[in-house]
Amino acid sequence: MKSLYFNEDHELFRQSVIEYINKKKPFFDQWEEERQVPKSVWKEMGDMGFLGLMYDEKYGGSKVDFFYSVILMEEMARAGNAGLLGGFSVHSYMATNHINNIGSEELKQKYLVPSIAGDILGAIAFTEPNAGSDVQGITTFAKKEGDHYIINGSKTYITSGCSADYFLTLCKTEAGFDIIVIDGDAPGITRNKLNKIGLHSSDTAEIFFQDVKIPTSNLVGNEGMGFYYVMESFQLERLCCAIMAIGAMDTIIAETLEFMKNRKAFGRPIAYFQVLRHRLADYCTDLECIRSLTYETCWRFMNGEYAIKQASMCKLKATELQNEVVAGCLQMHGGAGYMEDYPIARYFRDARVGTIYGGSSEIMREIIAKVVVDDVQFGKVY
């Protein structure tokens, strides 16, 4: 049956993504052990055109519709290396998204063009030790002195924090809050790599800024608007979280079903035990429900709608469901599920952060409640 969202060109693109990812799969275990994806991978993805799907051709992008991005994130998630996908999504749909939407032409040439080419890697530095979901609680301060900012403070839980070449950094300023691009090699920056439960292929770091001097031309957008830019960008970030969770669940369920067909107990495959097959049926039903909502919300986003309620619902339901599905599927593996030799163990670790990053489940519920109960209307600022 013809899809509502994907055409023949989309499916040809899907095949190119699958072919590329399959070539990289033999290295996944190595990247997990090394806790790092080689920089060469970003260059390869740039050469494939994967890093600029949303951006204009004049900057090296291809400016195709958003469902190409859906395909790319889905297939990367299905491949089973969430760490690689985490670094990619932050680079291509968060860091560069701000520069593309509100950055000056100078910033686009300096950061966006080489980012799309895969020559440099971007990250976002918003979270602080005492300011996660409460973005207004940040204390990293950028003091304007002539044509420069002097920046002091710290950030934490920064994806690609050790390997990034630049950071889109939310700072408190005399004007309010601003996003400032900080080069990774600027004097006064210290990075400390963090050890995580999962997403091992993606490095995560604390970053400390001590009298870091950055030109005022590195301001992204208008002065005092940084908080609002961050709030609007969360819509895309949360959609990405939902898409990645959906792709991961496709693989988790498929591999669990294969295991169940081959694992025998009491003389027959465990796939034929009603309690297990009915649980799997529930998982598949819930997955198709959230997939439909997410695709519809992607369509709304692609057509310019600021669908914050729907994006928050997608993020909430998809990541909560992923945690439920992966825990249940690990249980269906029995003792094998607790062994590192089986991919389900990695899927279990990697899934846990889904309900935390990009806005916790509790924050998603509050945003939805504000729209549904309090009739709050959120507007665009880009």
CATH fold of 8-120: Butyryl-Coa Dehydrogenase, subunit A; domain 1 (1.10.540)
Evaluate if residue 136 carries a pLDDT over 80. Answer: no
Catalytic residues: 237
**Comma-separated ranges of CATH 1.10.540.10 domains in the chain:** 8-120
Segment 214-255, tens digit of pLDDT: 999 999 999 999 999 988 888 899 999 999 999 999 999 999
The DSSP secondary-structure symbol of 272 reads: G
CA count, 13 A, side-chain hemisphere, 258? 9
Say how far apart CA 270 and CA 327 lie, in whole Å. 17
Q: Is the pTM of this model over 0.85?
A: yes
CA count, 13 A, side-chain hemisphere, 44? 11
Residue 277: CB partners within 8 Å, gap ≥ 6? 271
Full 3-state SS string of 110-162: HHHHHHHHCCCCEEEECCECCECCCHHHCCCEEEEECCEEEEEEEEEEEECCC
Say how far apart CA 120 and CA 136 lie, in whole Å. 29
Q: At what angle do helices 274-302 and 226-262 cross, to 10 degrees?
A: 150
CATH superfamily of 123-226: Butyryl-CoA Dehydrogenase, subunit A, domain 2 (2.40.110.10)
Question: 149 pairs with which residues across the strands?
Answer: 144, 214
Say how far apart CA 246 and CA 52 lie, in whole Å. 22
Backbone angles phi, psi at 190, to 5 degrees: -125, 135
Average pLDDT, the chain: 94
CATH of domain 228-372: 1.20.140.10
Segment 90-131, tens digit of pLDDT: 999 999 999 999 999 999 999 999 999 999 999 999 999 887
Residues of the chain with pLDDT > 70, as a percent, come to: 99
Residue 231's pLDDT is 87
Determine the residue type at 308: I
377 pLDDT tier (thresholds 50, 70, 90): confident
Please, are residues 244 and 85 in contact by the beta-carbon 8 Å criterion? yes
Evaluate if residue 50 carries a pLDDT over 90. Answer: yes
Residue 69: CB partners within 8 Å, gap ≥ 6? 53, 54, 92, 93
**Comma-separated ranges of CATH 1.20.140.10 domains in the chain:** 228-372
**Comma-separated ranges of CATH 2.40.110.10 domains in the chain:** 123-226
Please, are residues 114 and 381 in contact by the beta-carbon 8 Å criterion? no
